[in-house]
Amino acid sequence: MDSSTALSHQASQPSQVACAPTVYFDGACPVCSREIAVYQREPGGQNIRWVDVTRCDTAELGAGLTRDAALARLHLRLADGELVSGAAAFTGMWKQLPRWRWLGSLFGGGWRLSMLEAAYRFFLWVRRAWRKA
Protein backbone atom coordinates (compact mmCIF):
# COMPACT_ATOMS: atom_id res chain seq x y z
CA MET A 1 0.00 0.00 0.00
CA ASP A 2 1.55 3.31 -1.03
CA SER A 3 1.50 6.33 1.26
CA SER A 4 -1.44 8.02 -0.48
CA THR A 5 -3.52 4.83 -0.23
CA ALA A 6 -2.53 4.45 3.41
CA LEU A 7 -3.54 8.04 4.10
CA SER A 8 -6.97 7.70 2.53
CA HIS A 9 -7.51 4.27 4.08
CA GLN A 10 -6.71 5.43 7.59
CA ALA A 11 -8.65 8.65 7.23
CA SER A 12 -11.78 6.77 6.23
CA GLN A 13 -11.70 4.43 9.21
CA PRO A 14 -13.94 5.23 12.16
CA SER A 15 -12.23 6.28 15.34
CA GLN A 16 -10.52 3.29 16.93
CA VAL A 17 -11.19 4.77 20.34
CA ALA A 18 -13.77 7.48 20.86
CA CYS A 19 -11.31 9.61 22.83
CA ALA A 20 -8.26 9.04 20.61
CA PRO A 21 -6.43 12.21 19.59
CA THR A 22 -7.36 13.19 16.03
CA VAL A 23 -5.10 14.93 13.53
CA TYR A 24 -6.79 16.86 10.70
CA PHE A 25 -4.49 17.42 7.73
CA ASP A 26 -4.61 18.59 4.11
CA GLY A 27 -4.07 15.43 2.09
CA ALA A 28 -3.95 17.46 -1.15
CA CYS A 29 -0.75 19.18 0.01
CA PRO A 30 2.16 16.95 -1.11
CA VAL A 31 4.51 18.17 1.62
CA CYS A 32 1.83 17.83 4.29
CA SER A 33 0.74 14.34 3.27
CA ARG A 34 4.34 13.07 3.10
CA GLU A 35 5.06 14.42 6.56
CA ILE A 36 1.87 12.89 7.97
CA ALA A 37 2.78 9.54 6.38
CA VAL A 38 6.04 9.60 8.38
CA TYR A 39 4.13 10.15 11.62
CA GLN A 40 1.56 7.46 10.77
CA ARG A 41 4.32 4.85 10.46
CA GLU A 42 5.88 5.78 13.80
CA PRO A 43 5.27 3.72 16.95
CA GLY A 44 2.19 5.25 18.55
CA GLY A 45 0.83 6.40 15.19
CA GLN A 46 -1.83 3.71 15.32
CA ASN A 47 -3.24 5.38 18.45
CA ILE A 48 -4.01 8.60 16.58
CA ARG A 49 -6.98 9.06 14.30
CA TRP A 50 -5.78 10.60 11.02
CA VAL A 51 -8.34 12.58 9.02
CA ASP A 52 -7.57 13.82 5.52
CA VAL A 53 -9.89 16.82 5.40
CA THR A 54 -9.99 16.77 1.59
CA ARG A 55 -11.73 13.37 1.69
CA CYS A 56 -13.76 13.29 4.89
CA ASP A 57 -17.42 13.95 5.57
CA THR A 58 -18.18 17.24 7.29
CA ALA A 59 -19.39 15.31 10.36
CA GLU A 60 -15.88 13.87 10.83
CA LEU A 61 -14.55 17.37 11.53
CA GLY A 62 -16.51 17.58 14.75
CA ALA A 63 -17.58 20.61 16.73
CA GLY A 64 -15.79 23.89 16.20
CA LEU A 65 -13.87 22.95 13.03
CA THR A 66 -14.83 23.92 9.49
CA ARG A 67 -13.33 22.37 6.37
CA ASP A 68 -11.81 25.74 5.38
CA ALA A 69 -10.12 26.12 8.76
CA ALA A 70 -8.91 22.51 8.67
CA LEU A 71 -7.44 23.01 5.19
CA ALA A 72 -5.70 26.21 6.24
CA ARG A 73 -3.74 24.79 9.21
CA LEU A 74 -2.95 21.49 10.87
CA HIS A 75 -5.43 20.79 13.67
CA LEU A 76 -5.41 18.32 16.54
CA ARG A 77 -8.37 17.38 18.68
CA LEU A 78 -6.97 16.13 21.97
CA ALA A 79 -8.46 13.15 23.80
CA ASP A 80 -10.32 15.56 26.11
CA GLY A 81 -11.97 17.27 23.09
CA GLU A 82 -9.83 20.43 23.10
CA LEU A 83 -9.03 21.61 19.56
CA VAL A 84 -5.61 23.14 18.87
CA SER A 85 -3.95 24.19 15.63
CA GLY A 86 -0.61 25.13 14.14
CA ALA A 87 2.46 24.68 16.29
CA ALA A 88 0.35 23.57 19.26
CA ALA A 89 -1.12 20.81 17.06
CA PHE A 90 2.35 19.65 16.04
CA THR A 91 3.67 19.57 19.59
CA GLY A 92 0.53 17.81 20.81
CA MET A 93 0.86 15.23 18.05
CA TRP A 94 4.58 14.73 18.73
CA LYS A 95 3.82 14.10 22.40
CA GLN A 96 1.66 11.12 21.29
CA LEU A 97 4.59 9.55 19.40
CA PRO A 98 7.31 8.03 21.62
CA ARG A 99 10.22 8.87 19.28
CA TRP A 100 9.00 12.47 18.88
CA ARG A 101 7.84 13.10 22.45
CA TRP A 102 11.07 14.91 23.35
CA LEU A 103 10.48 17.42 20.55
CA GLY A 104 6.89 17.98 21.66
CA SER A 105 8.11 18.63 25.19
CA LEU A 106 10.93 20.91 24.03
CA PHE A 107 8.68 23.10 21.85
CA GLY A 108 5.41 22.59 23.75
CA GLY A 109 5.26 25.90 25.56
CA GLY A 110 6.61 29.37 26.15
CA TRP A 111 8.89 31.16 23.74
CA ARG A 112 9.79 27.95 21.90
CA LEU A 113 6.16 27.32 20.99
CA SER A 114 5.89 30.93 19.82
CA MET A 115 9.02 30.50 17.71
CA LEU A 116 7.67 27.26 16.19
CA GLU A 117 4.34 28.99 15.45
CA ALA A 118 6.18 31.78 13.63
CA ALA A 119 8.08 29.21 11.55
CA TYR A 120 4.83 27.36 10.80
CA ARG A 121 3.14 30.58 9.68
CA PHE A 122 6.06 31.22 7.33
CA PHE A 123 5.62 27.70 5.91
CA LEU A 124 1.90 28.41 5.39
CA TRP A 125 2.77 31.59 3.50
CA VAL A 126 5.19 29.65 1.27
CA ARG A 127 2.61 26.90 0.77
CA ARG A 128 0.06 29.43 -0.52
CA ALA A 129 2.64 30.67 -3.03
CA TRP A 130 3.25 27.06 -4.19
CA ARG A 131 -0.46 26.54 -4.74
CA LYS A 132 -0.72 29.67 -6.90
CA ALA A 133 2.23 28.56 -9.07
* pLDDT computed for residue 11 by the predictor: 40
Average pLDDT for 29-34: 92
- Indicate whether 10 pLDDT > 70: no
pLDDT at 100: 98
pTM: 0.83
* pLDDT at residue number 7: 39
Q: 127 falls in which pLDDT band (50, 70, 90)? A: confident
The angle at the Cα of 91, spanning 89 to 95, to the nearest 5 degrees, equals 115
66 φ/ψ sector (left φ>0, alpha ψ -120 to 50, else beta): beta
pLDDT in tens, 67-111: 999 999 999 999 999 999 999 999 999 999 999 999 999 999 999
φ/ψ of 49, rounded to 5, equals -90, 125
Q: According to DSSP H, which parts of 2-133 are helical?
A: 3-12, 30-41, 67-72, 87-96, 101-107, 110-132
